[in-house]
Amino acid sequence: MFKLSHWSPPRILVTGFALIILLGGLLLSMPFASEAGTRTPFIDAVFTATSATCVTGLVTVDTGSHYSAAGQIIIVTLIQIGGLGFMTMSTLFAIILRKRISLKERLVLQEALNQSSMEGIIRLIRKVLLYSLTIEAVGAVLLAIRWSYDMPLGKAIYFGVWHAVSMFNNAGFDLFGQFGTPFVSFTRYVNDPIVNIVAMLLIVLGGIGFIVMSDVIDFRNKKRLTLHSKVVLSMTGALLAIGTIVIFIFEFTNEHTLGALGWDGKIWASLFQSVAPRTAGPNTVDLTQLRQATQFFIVILMFIGASPGSTGGGIKTTTFATLIGAVIAMIRGKEDIVMFKMRLGRERIFKALTITLLSLALVIFVTMLLSTTEDQAFLKILFETTSAFGTVGLSLGVTPELTMFGKIVISLMMFTGRLGPLTLAYALGPRTEKELFRYPEGKITIG
């Protein structure tokens, strides 16, 4: 007989997310959740629930046209729970009910938020909830005001709230398929500066992580940023700038994407398509019409993903920065990785290498597996697999055409990407014990 108190924090997280997905899948499969009033196939309902809880955005049926208002509310609730984390949401209720947060719960929260210690963890949770709800509320108001010119006020408010939650949590779900064309995403607003700016700000704020947001807000008092915040902000800015420039250059003459737009449209579309692969999911141009070089470049951006402690996936910006730092240090003949005049510990470097190699191996394996079961081009499958791993939600049209096996595999990929391969390995693997001895050092030739 098992005892929950004996479970490790990673195992509790994995089990909690799995139960939420199962419950969401059951609800979405009910007739009341579909617009037609019929049952949605259970595999499609679970796929949608997994995508929502893992804040991805990949869907086998169009969200706006297939699901009823009740189904859409279930989906956005799953997005909110998945984005903030079910432990964060349960802590919210504990705070409201003035219940004591146990040591075990604090350990799970530490694991969920990817923190190195429990110090100030409840204070951080309060900030997470406050920042999230405030940012979502502001985004909802701005979007509702803009969309009130396109639709009735009631629907504009509903759309504003729904999409603000989806964008901030980097989920990528949208409801615009109900206007006639399924899976259309934000393409009708490719030239709209208000929708572009609000959506991108929501995505970026959700993707940099709550620790960084708290650090930036406290900067006025502390007059300094932590190393973590400096690395996240600089790497995020660099990736967005590089992504915008590369997409602009590659697609400038493509008549099916940027080529048909004016200069302002080209800039907005390039910037938006650079922001979206940071685990967000929406798109303002038809991704299937992008050149293959651009599609592969987006795969790289999706693999890197967002930042630790955020609503996004991928190997994370800090992991990528650590790898770049290791390469630079090796080329320069230095023993230490130094960032902003601070040295990184070896355990951080080993963790970055482990996460990257595990993630790369997983993406490669799943891509090879799906290449044998799905009748799709290799790049499309690689794109879909990386999108699922990075909990991005961008697709080249493969998702609705997946076989039963493909849907199961992509669902598992989204689940792994949300929790992280390392957390999943800790949860499923045996408990490790501290080694009582060390082997003698040996040497091998590298390179």
Task: Render pLDDT for 202-248 as a digit per residue (tens, 0 to 9).
Answer: 999 988 877 788 888 888 788 788 888 899 999 999 999 999 999 99
Q: How far apart are CA 397 and CA 78, in angstroms?
A: 24
Q: How far apart are CA 377 and CA 383, in angstroms?
A: 10
305 touches 390 (CB < 8 A): yes
CB-neighbour burial class of residue 392 (10 A; exposed 0-12, middle 13-18, buried 19+): buried
Residue 65 has a CB neighbour count (10 Å cut-off) of 18
Q: How far apart are CA 46 and CA 38, in angstroms?
A: 16
175 touches 162 (CB < 8 A): yes
Q: Which two tokens stand for residue 85?
A: 């984390």
Per-position pLDDT tens, the chain of length 447: 345 455 666 677 778 788 899 999 999 999 999 999 999 999 999 999 999 998 888 999 999 999 999 999 999 999 988 887 645 554 554 555 455 555 555 555 555 555 555 555 667 677 778 888 899 999 999 999 999 999 999 999 999 999 999 999 888 899 998 887 888 889 999 999 999 999 999 999 988 877 788 888 888 788 788 888 899 999 999 999 999 999 999 999 999 999 888 999 999 999 999 999 977 888 999 999 999 999 999 999 999 988 887 777 889 999 999 999 999 988 888 888 888 888 888 888 888 898 899 999 999 999 999 999 999 999 999 999 999 999 898 999 899 999 999 999 999 999 888 877 666 555 555 555 556 666 776 766 566
* Side chain identity at residue 161, one-letter code: V
Q: How far apart are CA 368 and CA 25, in angstroms?
A: 28
Q: Which two tokens stand for residue 329?
A: 């240090």
Q: How far apart are CA 390 and CA 312, in angstroms?
A: 7
* Side chain identity at residue 131, one-letter code: Y
* Side chain identity at residue 238, one-letter code: A
pTM: 0.87
CB-neighbour burial class of residue 141 (10 A; exposed 0-12, middle 13-18, buried 19+): middle
Please, how many CA atoms are within 13 Å of residue 272, restricted to the half-sphere of its CB? 32
Q: Which two tokens stand for residue 102?
A: 């146990």
Q: Which residue has the tokens 């607003």?
A: 189
